[in-house]
Amino acid sequence: MKILSRSILVMLCIILIGLGIIFISPDYNLYMVRSESMTPTVNMGDLIITGPMNGPINGEVNPGTIVTYEHNQELITHRVQSVDGTTLVTKGDAVEGADPWPVAVSNVRGVYLFKIPYIGYMTSFVQTKVGWFISIIVPAALLVMWLVKDIVKEAFSNA
């Protein structure tokens, strides 16, 4: 049982460290999906991780590549339909037609790498006052209770 719990703890630590590196890296970003335009590939509430265009993990932007780009100060994640020099035509998987505007390659903020399903809802909650309070106080209270349990157990075992 201890091996299983330690293995899970190590895996969670590795995931958190990886997400932390992605979060502080200027080339990689985390975005919460706020619409269903890319269903079933990416669902509303998913957290997506994007990397730089032509980065070490992903290759060139070609038709079929999913990109996140800025349009009118809004971030949109859609699939590339065609590439014409420095202009892309994009479309959401769940949408009938292509986006009515061309996307300049300079407006691309990242290329889709992978998603973490539904965790975006949790990150939105944590950004609220109540969510932040719960995400800090509950783990701290659990840690204190765990430490108190060990102290009490140690005190009574020596008595």
Residue spans of beta strands (DSSP E) within 33-122: 47-51, 66-71, 74-84, 87-91, 103-104, 108-116
How many distinct structural domains can be found in the chain?
Answer: 2
* pTM more than 0.85: no
Residue 1 is assigned to a structural domain of this protein: no
Q: Are residues 41 and 98 in the same domain?
A: yes
Domain range for 93? 28-119
Spatial separation of the C-alpha atoms in residues 118 and 16, rounded to whole Å: 16
Residue 71 is assigned to a structural domain of this protein: yes
Written as tens digits, the pLDDT of the chain (159 aa) is 678 888 888 888 888 888 788 778 888 898 889 899 999 999 998 989 999 987 777 778 999 999 999 999 999 999 999 999 899 999 999 999 999 999 999 999 999 999 989 887 877 788 888 888 888 888 888 889 989 988 888 888 766
Contacts (Cβ under 8 Å, ≥6 apart) of 119? 45, 46, 47
Instruction: Classify 45 in phi/psi space as left (phi over 0), alpha (psi -120 to 50) or beta.
Output: left
Spatial separation of the C-alpha atoms in residues 118 and 30, rounded to whole Å: 13
Q: Are residues 145 and 72 in the same domain?
A: no
Spatial separation of the C-alpha atoms in residues 71 and 19, rounded to whole Å: 26
Domain of residue 97, CATH code: 2.10.109.10
Q: Are residues 95 and 35 in the same domain?
A: yes
Spatial separation of the C-alpha atoms in residues 128 and 124, rounded to whole Å: 7
